[in-house]
Amino acid sequence: MDRIDELIRSMKQNDAQCDADKVRAAFEMADSAHEGQMRKSGEPYIMHPVEVAIILADMGMDTESIVAALLHDVVEDTDIPLEDLRRQFGDETAHLVDGVTKLSKIPFSSREEHQAENVRKMLIAMAKDVRVIIIKLADRLHNMRTIEHVSEQKQRDKSLETMEVYAPIAHRMGIRAIKEELEDISLRYLDPIAYQEISARLQTGKEEREKFLSQILRKFQERLQGHYNNLAIEGRVKSMYSIYRKLYVQGRSFDEIFDVYAIRVLVDTVNECYNVLGEVHDIFRPIPNRFKDYISTPKANMYQSLHTTVFDKSATPFEVQIRTFDMHHTAEYGIAAHWKYKVGVRQGKDSLEEKIAWVRQLLESQKDSVDAGDIIGSIKSDLTADEVYVFTPKGDVISLPLGASIIDFAYAIHTEVGNRMIGAKIDGRMVSLDTQVHTGQIINIITTSAKDHGPSRDWINIVKTSSTRSKIRAWFKKERRDENIAQGKAELEKEFRRNNILLDDKEMEAFLIRLTKNQRLNSLDEFLAALGYGGISLSKIMPRIKEQYQKLYKDTESEEKRLQKQVEKAAAQKPKAATSAVIVEGLENCLTKYSKCCNPLPGDHIIGFITRGHGVSIHTQSCSNVVGPMFDSEQADRWVECRWADVVEREEMFKSTVDIYGKDRPGLLVDISIALNNMHVPIYALTAKEQPGEGTAIQITFGIRNTEQLTHITRSLRKIAGVDGVERAMQ
Ligand code: MN
């Protein structure tokens, strides 16, 4: 067969260490396994794996990848088991074939943007060996090349999937050659009218354009030829899809598109690239701000090149890309280029060491060996390690935090699915509802239509996400009021017994009503119901309940009680208005003051400390005076929960201090005070220390209303020329 000879030829050319015998053996096996099977085009099936293998050989992929490509549909479509492949071709091949087979089973449907992104992330996360994805891309490329033979609906489905899932993966891996071809074929089926229009426009000026390109190329030749050891100059019209994006996504007209034409100049070294750039700017006038240096700053997908857009005499703009031959290979094949280097094929005089320089640059890594894992790592770096991606039976991707259970999954689909769930299957097997889910699983939730069915209370302790938890609580809150009240009452009674809170009926009623008021609820039932569905956590409020019980019903003059009395006494003497900003949990109308060490502002998380004789002093929770004492058991009881009242009096001002670090420049202080004045911020104190040669340190205390305003002020101050940093002062 001609094509198998073509395969061997390409392999030998691109990979000096290839094992042609192994490839022939794989072909024999695949050929006999697919015997009698036909493609939709009427060709024998074996043509497909052979073409996929040729795509990979042209890219310079290794023998294992090519063998796996030849066998990639054998396990799925014939009766040869994976074990047979392993026995004959080894673990590595078997592993690759298995990976490709598994990827093929993932049901992709990419209706929404975020969905497609999840699929991409998951694909990369799942394929531990990145060659699996490269083989899959080649497989898809050949299927797209032959897509004219399938039904129209299938053409559109496959094109959409290719555009949304496969082309972006090829892009992320830097495999331009595959990416552009996938996009152009998909475009033809997704937007046939636009596709025709662009081809027609490109066709009309074809002769002129070719003349234009050959003229430009000649100018390049004349100027550059003879000055470089190796030089390649090529001109082309950019890809259909890139023109399409400019026309229809960016809304530009055909005449406005600068870079329909691209000239590419390839040379040996980076130095020569910059030389060529200089020469180009000498012959043609560059368009300002269109120069991009991706050599010093490579793109995330390893792409390196210089880009500039210039005019010729007729004022037709065109783009010039200048890069080394090696950079070009990487630009075409991206991550796939790595295998070529790995097996030691050399082009030109550069050593292997120089060839993998781009990998080094990319990883900014040590002088040790660079292995494929590192490169994949850099591609994966935008994946969150603590996310899992699972599927609904219809193929929608749901992303959940690591450790999420079936229950989280059900509620993530829809609250009603969660509420009506009675069972679940993972990959077709029944599982218990507390089972954790893992990336790649297909999960089927079994629901009931019985009206009164709902979640179980135990689920609250199983689920991973707080949103699931609150959905379950919401159900209990709404659907099970009587049950909640009974549950809340039972829990409260149990806790009271455990803590020796013993009261007669009348006292108990008065005490519970007091607790209800503390929680700002309207009725005792509401309080009990909230305890029942978990809206109020009993374990959290129990310490305060105990405290109140001690205070109200025990005579022992405890330290706690004495302190509290002091605070209450002080509070009685204090006008109410001044304390309106802070609510101290469990102590109504007590005297409060803002601590000087951290100057809390509305918006800060705060905590109070019961002082001797001076009421409750309010600190930010992050204040350095808070962290230590919290663990001091003797004082622990004196810390009380506080929060800002919902409506803080508009007029009330708080003192806040910031440190400003800046350059030692005349007028800086004046600019800062003008800026504060313009924001109507009163200054209470200002000190400035000038340290010649080191800059200025300024501390300002001013009056503001809340943290939001503080953020606004610090942002404005940072914009002042000479200001290097603004920070809230902490002692
Ligand atoms: Mn295939």
Q: Tens of pLDDT along 556-594? A: 444 445 445 544 554 454 333 344 578 888 777 777 888
CA 147 to ligand 1 center in whole angstroms: 13
Q: What are phi and psi of 262, to 5 degrees?
A: -135, 130
Q: Is 425 exposed, middle or buried (0-12, 13-18, 19+ CB in 10 A)?
A: middle
667 pLDDT more than 80:
no
What is the Cα–Cα distance from 371 to 355, expressed in whole angstroms?
A: 14
Quick one: pLDDT band at residue 370, thresholds 50, 70, 90?
A: very low
* C-alpha span between 533 and 544 (Å, rounded): 20
Predicted confidence (pLDDT) at residue 211 exceeds the cutoff of 80 = yes
User: Which pLDDT value is given to residue 340?
Assistant: 53
Residue 49 Cα to ligand 1 middle (Å): 6
| CA 84 to ligand 1 centroid distance, Å | 19
- d(CA 144, CA 320) in angstroms, rounded, equals 30
Q: Bigger pLDDT: 574 or 73?
A: 73
Least confident window among 500-509, 548-557, 651-660, 679-688: 548-557
| Highest mean pLDDT (candidates 224-228, 386-390, 449-453, 622-626) | 224-228
| Region 702-730 average pLDDT | 87
Alpha carbons 352 and 341: distance in angstroms, whole number: 7
- Answer whether 538's CB lies under 8 Å from 491's CB: yes
Lowest mean pLDDT among 161-165, 466-470, 685-689: 685-689
What average pLDDT does range 35-39 have in this prediction? 91
Q: What CA–CA distance (Å, rounded) separates 447 from 496?
A: 39
465, containing H or E segment: none
Annotated catalytic residues are 76-77
Q: How far apart are CA 527 and CA 50, in angstroms?
A: 72
In angstroms, the Cα distances linking 368 to 327, 360, 371 are 22, 10, 9
378 pLDDT more than 50: no
pLDDT digits (tens, 9 = 90+) for 98-142: 888 877 766 565 455 555 666 666 565 555 677 888 899 999 999
Q: Which two tokens stand for residue 118?
A: 């999840």
Mean pLDDT of 459-487: 85
3-class DSSP assignment, residue 429: strand
Cα 689 from Cα 138, distance rounded (Å): 66
Name the band, by pLDDT with cuts 50, 70 and 90, for residue 89: very high
CA of 195 to the centre of ligand 1 (A): 27
Tokens representing residue 653 in the block: 């001002």
- Rounded to whole angstroms, the Cα distance separating 253 from 260 reads 12
β-strands 639-644, 606-610: how paired?
Answer: antiparallel
Integer CA distances (angstroms), 522 to 212, 516, 535, 587, in order: 83, 7, 15, 19
Tell me the CB-side half-sphere exposure of residue 727, using CA atoms within 13 A: 9
- Which residues are in the CB-under-5-Å shell of ion ligand 1? 73, 139
- The C-alpha atoms of residue 590 and residue 229 are separated, in whole angstroms, by 86
- Cα angle: 661, vertex 663, 668; to 5 degrees: 90
> Binning pLDDT at 50, 70 and 90, where does residue 389 land?
confident
